[in-house]
């Protein structure tokens, strides 16, 4: 393996897509060699484990993660016992329960977890999801007062930690908050606020999404029920919802999160939840789901209702048990997702042009526009973040007020910076977690607020990474890219935020066949001249310079970089390279 030195990996300083290739550091290279020597595992797998920071003695347990070993004690979180006790008491007494949820995937999955758990015990709950445009994020005073007048218990999921006034307006009912967004110096007057990101928590579970917090609360509720001589629902069967929320909310796939997603994917593959089955069928997902499908296929469709349509549609779908009703909701979400893509494309083009004019090398990349739909600014911020490797904020302006959403990069806590900005008075309100945040700002203070936010993020190291760096784990020859290697690599997964999928470089190969597929995709076959060849696909490559260069290769040799995957076709399984980049050899 080569190190990160001044020269790009394999000498690639400027690839066909304009990126510099960066290989493993000397420390990671040495760790990979130590893993290979002590475990006998494949070099490609050892390179991946080394990059993930897995030492040799922990490799066997890492490759076989179990919830039994990794699930934390729910009681390690403050207010957990009180929250679970209040929910169990409400069930035992047949009290009226309302679930107030955020409108994104994490909120919808959290609500569905509670609704499913209650339904299995013969208890129906009221679902309330605020409208993104009319009500905004989180509990509001009018809605909470109305719910309190008709219910004995309100459970706020994926929201509520900063909702002092709305929770005070619900004085006629008990309120329990199950959240993960960064807490303030004081907590609202709820009966219980369970949140690993409260100021008085140690932060060891701060990586959990809200659905994981709800799951832990249900684990504690189950323990209390067993102590009382009763038995609760099967919680392991609910991990499909936790997995979906964890990936869609970009929670890091390390520790217990990795075990939750891994087990949840197994549950999802059984196709037992009507809403997820309908959603997968509408999306034409014909393989067992992976973390990629959760984040890029299923998640966006669940989100579509909250973004530009009916706010509670995603949560209702995830909680639905009737296949016919689920299919109708899934089809509606599919249509909304198509509409969302069109709206997003227009905002993305305008935001990118504005951000480029402002400069893409600053610690913060941001853009704001009049009339930009608040339902897509978060997605556009994510696109800008991916393009620049910098935190990004995109804001829609209307009537002198901007409502925006931001996405961060590893190692930069955007939620804390936004919350500090709100405390300094530069925002009307703002909050979130490490990787994502929302904010409301007056148009007149927009420039100064974003300037200050950029300063706060720069102190955390934002903007220091190269915007065009492509990180590569190791060199791989076509003959070594086998189905067995991919299956071994999958044991190190699932991959996602905080634990990226392994990327390999295939050096000095010759393209034997290349053709256009669809409007902008490229399929190719390449080999090293020693008899081994491999197929590859580059999605959208013909929209940029890489596709035409490979299509019209003229016999030239290239370095190719990407992720290897199993391609199943007519009962045959073969290895395929999902091409990320290429450079002349």
In the predicted model, residues of the chain with pLDDT beneath 50 are 1-5
Are residues 323 and 364 part of one domain? Answer: no
Statement to judge: residues 455 and 487 lie in one domain: no
Last residue of a domain, one of 459, 493, 512: 459
Q: For residue 346, is it within any domain?
A: no
Claim to verify: residue 577 and residue 490 sit in the same structural domain: yes
Question: 228 is written with which tokens?
Answer: 């009382």
Q: Would you state the pLDDT for residue 297?
A: 93
Q: Closest Cα partner for 426 from 415, 418, 437?
A: 418
- pLDDT for 371: 93
pLDDT of residue 529: 85
Task: Please calculate the CA angle 355-392-253 and round it to the nearest 5 degrees.
Answer: 145
End-to-end CA distance of the chain: 17
Which tokens sit at 174?
């008990």
Residues 6+ apart with CB under 8 A from 137: 102, 103, 130, 159, 438
Among the candidates 427, 459, 491, a domain finishes at 459
Four-point Cα dihedral 80, 81, 86, 90, nearest 10 = 100
CA 58 to chain centre: 26
Number of domains the chain contains:
3
* Run of H or E residues at 535: strand 533-538
Whether 31 maps to a domain, the answer reads no
List of E strands, 117-243: 126-128, 153-157, 174-178, 192-194
Same domain, 330 and 443: no
The answer to whether residue 480 sits within a structural domain is yes
Task: Note whether 328 and 369 are same-domain residues.
Answer: no
Reading the block at residue 281, the tokens are 């069928």
Burial of 541 (0-12, 13-18, 19+ CB in 10 A): buried
**Pair (363, 308) in one structural domain:** no
Pairing of strands 469-471, 474-475: unpaired
The reply to whether 329 and 386 lie within a common domain is: no
Domain hosting 317: range is: 72-334
Nearest to 173 by CA among 186, 155, 160, 197: 155
Q: Which of 125, 119, 127 is nearest to 101 (CA)?
A: 127
Give 262-329 as a DSSP string.
HHHHHHHHT---HHHHHHHHHTT--S---HHHIIIIIHHHHHHHHHHS-TTHHHHHHH---HHHHHHH
- The answer to whether position 46 is within a domain reads no
DSSP-derived secondary structure letter, 356? H
End position of a domain, from candidates 437, 459, 481: 459
Which CATH number characterizes residue 79's domain? Answer: 3.90.1640.30
pLDDT at 6: 56
What SS3 state is found at 90?
Answer: helix
Q: Has residue 36 been placed in a domain?
A: no
Alpha-carbon dihedral sign for residues 13, 51, 67, 262 = positive
Largest interatomic CA distance in the chain: 76
**Residue 39 falls inside a structural domain:** no
Q: Please give the structure tokens belonging to residue 373.
A: 């739909």
Spatial distance between the Cα atoms of 545 and 261, rounded to a whole number of angstroms: 36
- pLDDT of 2 reads 37
Are residues 249 and 116 part of one domain?
yes
Q: Distance (Å, rounded) from C-alpha 317 to C-alpha 457? A: 38
CATH number of the domain that residue 544 is part of: 2.40.50.460
Burial of 186 (0-12, 13-18, 19+ CB in 10 A): exposed
> Is residue 443 located within the same domain as residue 553?
no
How many residues appear in the chain?
Answer: 585
């Amino acid at each position: 393996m080569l190190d990160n030195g001044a020269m790009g990996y394999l000498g690639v300083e400027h690839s066909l897509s304009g990126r510099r290739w960066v290989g493993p550091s000397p420390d990671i290279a040495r760790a990979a060699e130590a893993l290979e020597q002590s475990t006998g595992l494949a070099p490609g797998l050892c390179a991946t484990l080394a990059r993930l920071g897995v030492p040799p003695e922990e490799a066997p347990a890492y490759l076989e993660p179990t919830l039994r070993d990794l699930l934390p004690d729910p009681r390690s979180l403050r207010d957990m016992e009180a929250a679970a006790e209040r929910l169990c008491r409400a069930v035992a007494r047949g009290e009226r329960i309302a679930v107030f949820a955020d409108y994104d995937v994490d909120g919808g999955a959290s609500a569905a977890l509670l609704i499913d758990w209650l339904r299995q015990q013969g208890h129906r709950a009221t679902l309330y999801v605020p409208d993104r445009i009319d009500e905004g994020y989180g509990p509001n005073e009018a809605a909470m007062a109305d719910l309190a007048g008709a219910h004995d218990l309100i459970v706020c999921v994926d929201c509520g930690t900063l909702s002092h006034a709305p929770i005070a307006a619900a004085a006629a009912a008990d309120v329990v908050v199950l959240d993960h967004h960064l807490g303030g110096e004081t907590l609202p007057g709820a009966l219980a606020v369970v949140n690993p990101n409260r100021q008085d928590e140690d932060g060891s579970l701060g990586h959990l999404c809200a659905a994981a917090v709800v799951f832990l609360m249900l684990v504690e509720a189950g323990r209390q029920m067993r102590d009382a001589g009763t038995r609760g629902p099967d919680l392991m069967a609910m991990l499909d919802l936790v997995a979906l929320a964890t990936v869609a909310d970009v929670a890091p796939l390390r520790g217990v999160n990795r075990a939750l997603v891994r087990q949840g994917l197994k549950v999802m593959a059984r196709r037992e939840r009507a809403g997820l089955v309908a959603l997968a069928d509408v999306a034409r997902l014909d393989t067992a789901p992976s973390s990629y499908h959760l984040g890029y296929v299923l998640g966006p469709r669940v989100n579509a209702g909250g973004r530009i349509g009916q706010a509670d549609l995603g949560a209702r779908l995830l909680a639905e048990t009737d296949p016919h009703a689920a299919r109708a909701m899934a089809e509606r979400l599919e249509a909304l997702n198509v509409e969302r893509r069109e709206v997003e494309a227009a905002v993305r083009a305008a935001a990118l042009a504005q951000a480029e004019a402002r400069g893409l090398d600053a610690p913060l990349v941001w853009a704001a526009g009049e009339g930009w739909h608040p339902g897509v600014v978060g997605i556009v911020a994510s696109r800008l973040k991916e393009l620049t490797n910098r935190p990004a904020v995109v804001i829609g302006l209307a009537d002198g007020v901007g409502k925006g959403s931001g996405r961060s990069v590893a190692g930069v806590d955007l939620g804390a910076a936004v919350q500090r900005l709100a405390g300094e008075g530069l925002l009307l309100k703002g909050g979130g977690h490490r990787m994502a945040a929302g904010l409301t700002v007056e148009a007149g203070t927009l420039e100064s607020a974003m300037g200050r936010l950029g300063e706060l993020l720069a102190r955390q190291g934002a903007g220091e990474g190269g915007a065009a760096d492509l990180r590569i784990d190791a060199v791989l020859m076509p003959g070594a890219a086998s189905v067995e290697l991919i299956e071994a690599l999958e044991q190190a997964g699932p991959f996602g935020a905080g634990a990226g999928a392994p990327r390999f470089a295939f050096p000095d190969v010759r393209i034997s066949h290349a053709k256009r597929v669809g409007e902008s995709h490229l399929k190719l076959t390449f080999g090293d001249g020693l008899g081994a060849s491999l197929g590859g696909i580059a999605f959208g490559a013909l929209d940029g310079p890489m596709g035409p260069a490979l299509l019209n290769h003229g016999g030239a040799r290239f370095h190719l970089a990407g992720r290897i995957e199993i391609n199943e076709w007519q009962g045959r399984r073969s290895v395929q390279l999902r091409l990320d980049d290429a450079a002349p050899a």
